[in-house]
Amino acid sequence: GAVVSQHPSRVICKSGTSVKIECRSLDFQATTMFWYRQFPKQSLMLMATSNEGSKATYEQGVEKDKFLINHASLTLSTLTVTSAHPEDSSFYICSAPFPDTQYFGPGTRLTVL
């Protein structure tokens, strides 16, 4: 099956700092990628759709200025959590469609102190 990687797998940072998470499709091209967030014991919630060469589409209630998304190439999308706060601590997962379903990266566990 298709492979999607994410980096880093775990990050701990101080409140107020910014954190960048990378999502790569390793053996296929992805013009679209999706970013999800999952809080403990809850389901995945779609945050935004990342589009190569154009602006990301954000879900209702997700601040685009806080969660910056850049899809610079057909294999890389990045999510930057700006001025992170403890309430941003969560499991962030990206996915890319191939061909009719989606494959997920291994996720990034963010802890903001």
Partner 1 sequence: RKEVEQDPGPFNVPEGATVAFNCTYSNSASQSFFWYRQDCRKEPKLLMSVYSSGNEDGRFTAQLNRASQYISLLIRDSKLSDSATYLCVVNSRSSGSARQLTFGSGTQLTVLP
Enumerate binding residues for partner 1 (CB under 8 A). 1, 31-32, 34, 42-46, 49, 51, 57, 91, 93, 95, 97, 100-107, 109
Task: State which residue, 4 or 112, has the beta carbon closest to partner 1.
Answer: 4
The DSSP bridge partners found for residue 4 are 25
Please identify which residue in the block is written with the tokens 């989606």: 102
Task: State which residue, 78 or 95, has the beta carbon closest to partner 1.
Answer: 95
Task: State which residue, 18 or 42, has the beta carbon closest to partner 1.
Answer: 42
Nearest to 111 by CA among 68, 81, 69: 81
Please identify which residue in the block is written with the tokens 């797998």: 9
| Phi, psi for 112 (deg, rounded to 5) | -110, 120
Query: CB 20 → partner 1: shortest distance, Å?
Result: 19
